[in-house]
Amino acid sequence: MIDSNYIYTRDCVQGSNPPCTSVCPINFKTRDFLSKLQRGNFNGAYREYAKNVIFPGIVSKICNQNCHEICPEKISVLKLEAAVVRYADRKEPINYNLPGRKEKIAIIGGGLSGMACAHRLSTRRYNVTIFEREDSVGGSLKDLIDADDLNDEFELQFKYLNYTLETNQEIITLDDLDYDAVYIATGKHGNDFGLLKSWNSKSLGTSKKGVFLGGKVTGCNDMEALMDGMIAAASIEKYIKVGKMDGQADTYHDPSCKIPVEYNDNAQPIIPLNGEYYTKEEAVKEAKRCILCDCTKCKDRCDFLQHMDLLPRKVESDAQMAKSADEGLFERVGTRMIVSCSVCGLCGAVCQEDINVEDILIESKKMLYESGHFPPPFHDFYLRDMMSALSEAYAVKAAPGYETATYMFFPGCQMTASGTEHVERAYGYMLKKNPDTALMLGCCGVPALWAGNQDLMKKVLDKLKNEWENLGKPILVSACPSCLKTFSNYADELECISIYEYIADRGLPENASSINGDWAVFDPCSSRNFPKMQTSVRNLSNRLGAELVELNSSGPEARCCGMGGHIYPANPEVFHKMLNSSINESELPYITYCMNCRNLFLSADKKCNHILDGVLGVKPLEKPFHISELRKNRIRLKKHLLKEIWGEDFEIEKKKYSVKLKISEEIYDKMDMLHISEEDVYDVVEHCIQSNEEILEPKTEIYTGYKQIGIFTYWVQYKKNDDNIEVVNTYVHRIQID
């Protein structure tokens, strides 16, 4: 269902023909009909049926049910159509009060095709005259359906429509007809007025201007004749309006079915107990077996799309609306959606049309940021963390004794924060293999991308590229899949490989330690387009003795742990759903190769090793570092490496506080959740005590104070002990207190 209103999701097949509709001669929207019937809504289902087939009382008796064969559940659609005709009690057509039109249309033949065309055109208030050579309408239907039933159905469906019926009128020549358009539907072996040879089987137009031809005179069957009647009506209307004979393409029969279908070999159709037709209950039961075939593959795999009840088309239209809406609506409709996607790309990986919501929302984040509507609190913590990694903890060094390099190790800002030993040992290993290996401690800039600030990301990458050029354009060896993805998408001139393939190709280090037992590999979502990295991790795990089990979501279909897009502050529910889906994929412990994934899993009590634990002989972490430790770790690492490898001293001036705080593990955990650092807490308490701006609750002897830092106001509650100040609570607001 190509829709040119969409750019990214133009080719999305969601909502397009299910198999049954594709083979139905009139493209009956079976899915809509059956979904109504599933809810026991016989009148609604009847209206849907009548809208599609015009004459339910006829079609439910004559259709040869092509859909049954192709249906994966073998639904008895025709029996259900008959049940709807039998049990609906509000069949009266709607009487639309439309103004009449002056154009006159002649229909030659009152069989099913002619009557369908007459119905459609008289509904649009054209002046329709049917010329029937016999004394009543119905044509060959009269051989199939009882005459009274046939008349009753025509009477019902034409109840509010005006048309002229000329019976016993055989048209011999078209020259005598003074009409704006003519539809020839003279039936099997009927008169084609010499026009069949110039007939267009799509538009039903002929070489004679204003004359269309269709139905059984062309050799088709009853159901196709019905469809012809509807197509002819649309083509005639176009001809009347714009003078063109080429018809309305969107009314032509569409035999395509792009919906992914899974066949059920154990389908068990409901058989009517009376051997003939369904009772109401049986009909609903049978309708409920229909799986309403459609494509929702992306949504089925994505917690964000499920949580927000979205499909990609809706994502794109909401994002478009956000662009053009006024400020209030913009923020309401757009922001929550745009900032809740982890931009992991799993949707694109499972979509047969390669539609990736990530592309839509990365662009939307940029637009949101540039228009000044991106709420800063959502990304403030991560951006400050990135800037710290790019300033106080930043370093780029050629190997001792070298000015250029063949390789440059780029551990990434997360490994330098929570895998300092891994960085040190990996770099040591690389120096042994390639003594000219350079080192860069920094960040790829992806937090800026996720915050919509693409200019900032570009600046980060430009700086990196500059250093890389100065070092003779070495091959970057990254330990972080997100860095690799960022480089490959936004700086593809950098040749880049992962540390995992580097080590897999050169052999395990001497101090590698075995990781026996059963493990599942958790591929980080950012690794999905790097099969060599994924294979290398499996290869290393096997060499270390691990028995590996593959998760359902792995390789190209890797899922996000919840960290992608830094969605936590904006939508903690989606974050937790993603985290839970990830850890619940298997009860086995995980091996992963992204520090963020590992840290999140450990924080949720899921046993998880980083592959470099075993490869480099580092003791696996059991509990992740508190966020306050992360920046300190980076600085310690930089200081240590500069001293050990280059013999350089490095100091940064530490903030000095007069207060000494006692902070429990429980408070640290809460601080992690709220992204409050130890430094923030010290700043508040120091400020409150120095300025005497603290409120004492005498009963509990608890002091409360706050300080605004950046865009946030931080609150701390504390008790003053003899030798320290004990923090009992802390929280943060995005409000400024005057």
Q: Which residues bind ligand SF4 (CB under 6 A)?
A: 12-14, 18-20, 30-31, 34, 71-73, 75, 77, 290-293, 295-298, 302, 304-305, 311-312, 341-347, 351, 353, 355, 357-358, 560
Evaluate whether 410 touches 442 at the Cβ level (below 8 Å). yes
Q: How far is the CB of 35 from ligand SF4 (least distance, A)?
A: 9
Q: How far is the CB of 36 from ligand SF4 (least distance, A)?
A: 13
* CA nearest to 626, candidates 681, 574, 582, 670: 670
Alpha carbon 109 to its chain centroid, in Å, reads 50
Q: How far is the CB of 15 from ligand SF4 (least distance, A)?
A: 8
Partners of 702 in the β-ladder: 697
* Euclidean distance between CA atoms 313 and 604, whole angstroms: 34
Ramachandran assignment for 454, one of left (phi > 0), alpha (psi -120 to 50 degrees), beta (any other): alpha
Specify the residue, 290 or 386, whose C-beta has the smaller distance to ligand SF4: 290
Specify the residue, 7 or 292, whose C-beta has the smaller distance to ligand SF4: 292
* Euclidean distance between CA atoms 260 and 306, whole angstroms: 19
Range 710-720 burial, b when 16+ CB lie within 10 A, else e: eebbbbbbbee
The phi, psi pair for 303, rounded to 5°, reads: -65, -35
Specify the residue, 345 or 442, whose C-beta has the smaller distance to ligand SF4: 345
Specify the residue, 305 or 430, whose C-beta has the smaller distance to ligand SF4: 305
Q: How far is the CB of 361 from ligand SF4 (least distance, A)?
A: 6
* CA nearest to 485, candidates 354, 358, 301: 358
Q: How far is the CB of 559 from ligand SF4 (least distance, A)?
A: 8
546 exposed, middle or buried (CB, 10 Å; 0-12, 13-18, 19+)?
A: buried
Q: How far is the CB of 562 from ligand SF4 (least distance, A)?
A: 10
In this structure, the number of other CB atoms found within 10 A of the CB of residue 654 comes to 8
Q: How far is the CB of 91 from ligand SF4 (least distance, A)?
A: 23
Partners of 719 in the β-ladder: 726
* CA nearest to 707, candidates 730, 690, 725, 683: 683
Specify the residue, 68 or 639, whose C-beta has the smaller distance to ligand SF4: 68
The phi, psi pair for 477, rounded to 5°, reads: -115, 110
Q: What token pair was written down for 632?
A: 């300190």
* CA nearest to 668, candidates 621, 609, 702, 628: 628
Ramachandran assignment for 345, one of left (phi > 0), alpha (psi -120 to 50 degrees), beta (any other): left
* Euclidean distance between CA atoms 598 and 563, whole angstroms: 11
Q: How far is the CB of 338 from ligand SF4 (least distance, A)?
A: 10
What does the angle CA 482 – CA 488 – CA 490 come to, to the nearest 5 degrees? 95
Q: How far is the CB of 262 from ligand SF4 (least distance, A)?
A: 10
What does the angle CA 570 – CA 337 – CA 736 come to, to the nearest 5 degrees? 35
Specify the residue, 29 or 687, whose C-beta has the smaller distance to ligand SF4: 29
DSSP 306-339: HHTT--HHHHHHHHHHHHHS-HHHIIIIIIHHHT
Q: How far is the CB of 385 from ligand SF4 (least distance, A)?
A: 22
Q: How far is the CB of 277 from ligand SF4 (least distance, A)?
A: 18
Specify the residue, 21 or 434, whose C-beta has the smaller distance to ligand SF4: 21
Alpha carbon 246 to its chain centroid, in Å, reads 38
Q: How far is the CB of 565 from ligand SF4 (least distance, A)?
A: 7
Specify the residue, 423 or 579, whose C-beta has the smaller distance to ligand SF4: 579
Q: In which element (H, E) is residue 457 found?
A: helix 454-470
Specify the residue, 236 or 560, whose C-beta has the smaller distance to ligand SF4: 560
Q: What is the 3-state secondary structure (H, E, C) of 487-513?
A: HHHHCCCCCEEEHHHHHHHHCCCCCCC
Specify the residue, 166 or 300, whose C-beta has the smaller distance to ligand SF4: 300
Specify the residue, 291 or 588, whose C-beta has the smaller distance to ligand SF4: 291
Q: How far is the CB of 319 from ligand SF4 (least distance, A)?
A: 12
Specify the residue, 13 or 181, whose C-beta has the smaller distance to ligand SF4: 13
Specify the residue, 347 or 637, whose C-beta has the smaller distance to ligand SF4: 347
